[in-house]
Amino acid sequence: MATPIGNLRDISLRALDVLKSADAIAAEDTRITRRLLDHYGIPKRLIAVHEHNERRAVKQALALLGAGRSLALVCDAGTPAISDPGAVLVSAVRDAGYSVTPVPGANAAVTALAAAGLETPHFLFFGFLPSKGGARRRALAALAALPYTLVFYEAPHRIAECLHDMSEVLGAARRVVIARELTKAFESIHVCTLALAPQWVEADANRRRGEFVLLVEGAAALTEDSSEGRRTLEVLLAELPVKQAVDLTVKLTGGRRNELYKLALTLKGHGK
Ligand code: SAM
């Protein structure tokens, strides 16, 4: 079941009912879940299930369920099994013949997507990229041609280098949404091109603090425009102001004005 990703009030009435009625709660870091339970006045037995003991914890969980008890599974924040432990336990419990009931709620990726304003209907959730530069760039290269919004989780100490690599491998013209500290006091959502993103986070230490979701515009938006429209726009932008270049490109190619205008701003280096 899902728990909040920051704001403790982002929890459903049903989730609270389940936390209250479960015989035990399987939690990633029991101290963090204890804080949530204390906030809502729910005293409950906690079992630790983290990435290093998930298989061992299965035995404990099955023993409990075998004794006719119920168990709720949570992670530190958000939805279990999404860049978090949970899948091993869920699968083992179901294989043992018990039912598994999802209780939906907060998830950082979906929360960021809702506020991103990226118009593509499809997205690919990647989660964390490899922490080492070479492996990260290889992983990005494998995603570069996909026509979907790409959704990443990233740690604060790697945010700048990650944005540098994204700009290099995915292309500097793509838009990126940097969603930081969602639902918390210092929430910020910044949209710019990948070309400008590294310098934006480097300009202020506060912009590198907290938790991040990065959403990068998919390749489709660019390839659509990269054909006739993009080429025409590039030639005209070299000679004319943005508005005139866009007007003429619309007339010449029949392309969509909004898309071409956005692309023109990006090509000029001051896209949103
Ligand atoms: N299971 C969680 C979920 O459903 O979103 C994700 C857990 S993952 C270990 C933690 C990562 O999620 C963070 O490093 C960050 O990238 C992202 N994240 C979690 N909470 C966030 C928030 N409030 N704002 C932005 N990103 C967040």
pLDDT in tens, 224-235: 545 677 778 888
Block residue for tokens 């025409």: 232
Q: Could you report the per-residue pLDDT of 80-95, keeping only the tens digit for each?
A: 999 999 999 999 999 9
Instruction: Evaluate: CB of 183 within 6 angstroms of ligand 1.
Output: yes
Under 8 Å between Cβ of 161 and 231: no
Q: How far is the CA of 57 from the centre of ligand 1 (A)?
A: 23
Under 8 Å between Cβ of 249 and 233: yes
Q: Whose CA is nearest to atom 11 of ligand 1?
A: 153
pTM score over 0.75:
yes
Mean pLDDT over the full length of the chain = 92
For the chain, percent of residues with pLDDT exceeding 90: 78
Instruction: Evaluate: CB of 29 within 6 angstroms of ligand 1.
Output: no
The CB density around residue 159, as the number of other CB atoms within 10 Å, is 22
Q: Which of 29, 131, 212 is the pocket-test mutation for ligand 1 (most atoms within 8 Å of CB)?
A: 212
For the chain, percent of residues with pLDDT exceeding 70: 95
Q: How sure is the predictor about 258, in pLDDT bands with cuts at 50, 70 and 90?
A: confident
Calpha distance 211→196 (Å, rounded) = 20
**Residue 229 burial by Cβ neighbours in a 10 Å radius (0-12, 13-18, 19+):** buried
Triad 46, 51, 132: Cα angle to 5°: 145
Q: Which of 1, 3, 5 is the pocket-test mutation for ligand 1 (most atoms within 8 Å of CB)?
A: 5
Closest atom of ligand 1 to 79 CA is: 4
CA distances 107 to 5, 95, 124, 132, 217, Å, are 7, 26, 15, 26, 20
Calpha distance 167→92 (Å, rounded) = 41
Buried b (16+ CB within 10 A) or exposed e, 15-49: beebbeebebbbbbebeebbebbeeeebebebbbb
Q: How far is the CA of 66 from the centre of ligand 1 (A)?
A: 33
